[in-house]
Structure 1
Amino acid sequence: MKIIITLRESGHLGGVVSFYKSIVPYLNNDKNKSFIFFHIGKKINRKIPFHVIMDQFRFQKKLRQLNPDIVHVNPSLNLKSFLRDGLFIYWAKRKNLPVLVFWHGWGKKFEKKIDTNLFFYWFFKKTFLRADKTIVLASDFKKKLISWGVKSDIILGTTVIDESLLEGFDINKKIQKINKSKKINILFLSRIEKEKGIFETISAFKMLLDKNYNIKLNIVGDGTALESVKRYSKAIKIPENKLSFLGYVKGYKKKEVFINNHIYCFPTYCEGMPISVLEAMSFGMPVITRAVGGLKDFFQDKQMGFSTTSKNPYVFAKLVEKLIINKSLISDIGLYNHRFAEKHFAASIGFKLLESLYYEICNTVEFNKMIH
């Protein structure tokens, strides 16, 4: 079985690349299938003129060369990905090839454009509507696809954790450190953008500092709002020794960040299935977040931390405070989250879902050939 999977080069950041990096060991061990990664978008350290157009020509050539059994595309709901990946589906269907679509990002603004713009809706019907199976990261996204006319199978999937990140991690040692620690470390790890709730996090943190709690906020990541965030933290007079900007981290440094922090705060406005939340849970951290996207489908309020529909920093401060004043609650929730993540978000689980869908698609194709 030959399967073409579209995604950006491995050196790029983002959920799609992280997902496939995590499951690559399982792909490599599957001797019954041949996985061909078709890299799209800008190349790292290489400039290719008109790469958006060239991707379409290269993709058509790859289809002719390989004649795959399945084409697997990984779009996000934004203009660029919608048009690019939609055309990939169009070329595949011109050759009568089965297509699996795995929606990773989901932009609410672009969702409204498909609802209201006749061209975008027409384009969706000519492309994504023809997919044999579709994976989404939230039940809300499934409902929207159904409203747009999708009648083929829509499966609720998940992002997965890179299991190598957890090698050597001992949840019992972390719980012991939490119980002995005099200071509580709060973590915000994400792209530094307004929509991720970074300003709400800082405002809530300042409210807690004003109550003289022994706490520190560690902000990890990079983004367009970083300088604004630094100016804002100075404007509201957060002491430098209480706030750290650690930049973008990966590998061992990322592991250290998760081990050394106690509470994960993520008041995001809109999400698919944020990998940072799953990673924080894996490292035994209670999560304070908003009930959006895929989080609504699995997050157990009070059992995994606290979830709210509010964007009010005061609400987040009160939720974080419940943990600060009760270390045993941090430990109990952390242990529960670690075990839950091991069971539900391992890379092997993500691979098994894909594997089952590949077989279902191929079996359906073979059955249709027999009856025709």
Structure 2
Amino acid sequence: MKVIQITSDYLPDPLWGMGWHVALLREILIAKGVRVSVATAFKSKGSHENIITTDLADDTELLSSGKYEIFNDFRKFVAWQERLADKVVQRNEHFDVAHVHNWMSWLTAKKLARTGVVNKVLVTFHFLQRQYEKMIENPIPSFHKEIIEIETEAMRSADGVVLLSDSQLRLVEAEYGKEFLNKTRVIPHSVNFDTKSYGEIQKLKDANTYIDIVYVGRIEKDKGIEEALKAYSKLGSGNHRFSVVGDGPILERLRAEFCDRNVVFWGYQSRKQIESILSAAHIFCMPSTSENLPLSVLEAMFFGVVPIFTQGETVPNIFTDQIHGFTVKLNRVGNVFSVDDDSLFNALALLANNAGLRKKMSKAAYTYAVSNYSKEAMTKEILGFYSDVLAINSLGPIIA
């Protein structure tokens, strides 16, 4: 089987978890004997073999130079997707499956299908544009309608659609229609870390002189990091510390506002350093208002860190409340959701002040994550879906 992964976000230093996921997917598919190429932006040129990129001149002209965005001009970004398709066509190769990652690569795959370069097209929606309607901020408000149209076309025309969670599936059914569900599968991402024994992890936590509370992710409003820090500040004095790992548009403001000696802003960190931080941490706090599959929460559980996450229609159910961790409710005002501050503080205080409960839930979280979010489970599901997609007789409307 020959597969091309198409993504606007990739190595090195991806902007989102999507880029890391594509890198992992490539790695595990190759291990299973699949021939994999990746089509992406120029910054990834030379990352590995069989990578197809646009030219530096293309990206300079059409993509954003901003640190926290891929594009800032929608029409130019559409043109960039066309340029990427041209680069793939020039390779004079044929692919059994084009695996598209988000709407941001759909137009590339659409052109490849029309030119006969790919046989079947499968799209993974890491995040749907309609989810922004329920968030505090929409990062692409100017072209919201156009992006929804692209997503709808992708769902209608692709041979297969991958969603990441039950909440995303409910949204697709409610907002886009049930007719798409028969070619849709929910396949969660896997955790991209090697498994440690729980005994090894517990020794590191016991050796930590702090009760370590940690957040790993983008530093932006809808991730709930500001609410988490405010809840932490109410804990008062104690042998605890809050570590904030990640980069994003509100990092410097939060760094200035929460300048407590027990709040550590690590900024962007390597995967190795994140592994080290999580291995010794006790509580993971991410009260996000909208997620498909919060991989950082699952990664924390993979290292026995007890999660505090949210519960509501804009986030998935990823663990059992009060068994593997705590979920805090989301309040709804109109069509926008926000975390319940009292519920968040109560969960944080309970875990911070109860060592026995932390240890019990730590083991439960670890066992659940290792059992349900492994690389092996994801690989089996993805390869099975590829095979099913290839069995479809015709590509359908995409080549019309």
Whether TM exceeds 0.5 here: the answer is: yes
| Displacement after TM superposition at 1:20 (Å) | 2.6
Written as runs of structure 1 = structure 2, the 5 A alignment for 1:88-237 is 88-95=108-115, 97-107=119-129, 108-109=131-132, 122-146=149-173, 147-149=175-177, 150-151=179-180, 152-164=182-194, 166=195, 169-176=196-203, 178=205, 183-209=210-236, 212-234=237-259
Matched, 1:6 2:6: yes
1:309-352 superposed Cα distances (whole Å, 9 cap, x missing partner): 24233321210121122212111111111111111111222221
- Give the length in aligned residue pairs: 349
State the secondary structure of the residue aligned to 1:303. Answer: coil
* Larger helix share, 1 or 2: 1
- Which amino acid in 2 is paired with 1:9? Y
- Which amino acid in 2 is paired with 1:56? E
Check the 8 A contact 1:6/1:39 in 2, yes or no. yes
State the secondary structure of the residue aligned to 1:309. Answer: strand
Give me the whole-angstrom Cα distance separating, in 1, the residues matched to 2:197 and 2:238. 27
Structure-2-length-normalised TM-score: 0.78
| Displacement after TM superposition at 1:291 (Å) | 1.9
The gaps in structure 1 that reach 5 residues or longer are 76-81
Note closer, same or farther for the CA distance 1:290–1:118 as it changes in structure 2 (3 Å cut).
closer
Note closer, same or farther for the CA distance 1:366–1:133 as it changes in structure 2 (3 Å cut).
closer
Check the 8 A contact 2:123/2:160 in 1, yes or no. yes
CA RMSD of aligned residues (A): 3.0
Structure-1-length-normalised TM-score: 0.83
| Displacement after TM superposition at 1:187 (Å) | 0.6
Written as runs of structure 1 = structure 2, the 5 A alignment for 1:212-361 is 212-234=237-259, 238=260, 240=261, 242-291=262-311, 296-310=316-330, 311-361=339-389
| Displacement after TM superposition at 1:183 (Å) | 3.2
State the secondary structure of the residue aligned to 1:267. Answer: coil
Note closer, same or farther for the CA distance 1:40–1:312 as it changes in structure 2 (3 Å cut).
same
- Which amino acid in 2 is paired with 1:59? A
Written as runs of structure 1 = structure 2, the 5 A alignment for 1:25-40 is 25-31=27-33, 33-40=34-41
Note closer, same or farther for the CA distance 1:54–1:265 as it changes in structure 2 (3 Å cut).
closer
Give me the whole-angstrom Cα distance separating, in 2, the residues matched to 1:172 and 1:29. 29
State the secondary structure of the residue aligned to 2:393. Answer: helix
State the secondary structure of the residue aligned to 2:316. Answer: helix
Give me the whole-angstrom Cα distance separating, in 1, the residues matched to 2:148 and 2:225. 34
Give me the whole-angstrom Cα distance separating, in 1, the residues matched to 2:147 and 2:295. 29
1:51-105 superposed Cα distances (whole Å, 9 cap, x missing partner): 4424413314524722322111001xxxxxx3x4332343244357321111112
Check the 8 A contact 1:137/1:293 in 2, yes or no. no
Note closer, same or farther for the CA distance 1:93–1:188 as it changes in structure 2 (3 Å cut).
same
State the secondary structure of the residue aligned to 1:5. Answer: strand
| Displacement after TM superposition at 1:136 (Å) | 0.8
State the secondary structure of the residue aligned to 1:50. Answer: helix
